[in-house]
Amino acid sequence: MPMRLRTKKGFSILELIVTVSIIIITMFTVVASFWRSQQKAIGSAALANLDHIRTAQTLFHAENQTFTNNEAALSAYVPFVKSTDPAPEWSYAITAADGASFVAVATRVNNRPFAGFTITLSVDSTLAGSTTSPQTSSIVYRRNGGGLVDSYPPP
């Protein structure tokens, strides 16, 4: 009687471990990329609102020869978004306004990633970022055709 060769069925434990490890590493990479994209979108919303505030201030100044810290008056020119979300990501304030200048500030609210991070916009469209969080170390902003383009959060 001839001997029958045994054929191997299934995968070895080593093959399974390698496959699962590759899947886990890919999953972590995708989740990290998604989180970073989400945080950039949240930062972009703050910069867009600051850009709307700058535009409203410019229009207000053209008509009244002064800047204002009255957000209701500015909303008549360019309605910038003040979140109606019960848990907003940013709070906005116009901290200084007079005949020659204004300063608008967006602050990341507590209980959020990068809490305490602030973006300051001045009359000449100068942006400055600062933080009390050790998570953020450097902030980069660029201008694009007069608008604001961010690199938030930092790499």
pLDDT tens, residue by residue, 55-81: 888 899 899 998 988 888 888 888 766
Q: Cis link prior to 134 (omega < 30° from 0)?
A: no
**Structural domain total, the chain:** 1
Greater model confidence, 74 or 17? 17
What does the pLDDT read at residue 123? 77
Q: Is residue 144 part of a domain?
A: yes
Q: Is residue 3 part of a domain?
A: no
pLDDT at residue 154 greater than cutoff 50: no
Look up residue 46 and give its two tokens. Answer: 């703050």
Least confident of 34-38, 51-55, 78-82, 142-146: 142-146
Q: Say which residues have a Cβ less than 8 Å from residue 12's Cβ, sequence separation at least 6.
A: none
Measured CA to CA, the distance from residue 72 to residue 30 in angstroms comes to: 42
DSSP, residue by residue, 70-98:
-HHHHHTTS------SSS-SEEEEEEEE-
138-141 — which CB contacts under 8 Å span 24+ positions?
A: 141/47
Greater model confidence, 52 or 134? 52
- Considering the chain, what percentage of its residues have pLDDT values greater than 70? 69
Greater model confidence, 84 or 60? 60
Greater model confidence, 142 or 17? 17
Global model pTM greater than 0.85: no
- Lookup result for tokens 């907003």: 88
Please provide the average confidence, as pLDDT, over all residues in the chain: 76
Determine the residue type at 31: V
What does the pLDDT read at residue 2? 63
Section 129-147 average pLDDT: 44
Q: Is residue 5 part of a domain?
A: no
Backbone Cα Rg of the chain: 25
Give residue 72's domain range. 13-151
Q: Is residue 95 part of a domain?
A: yes
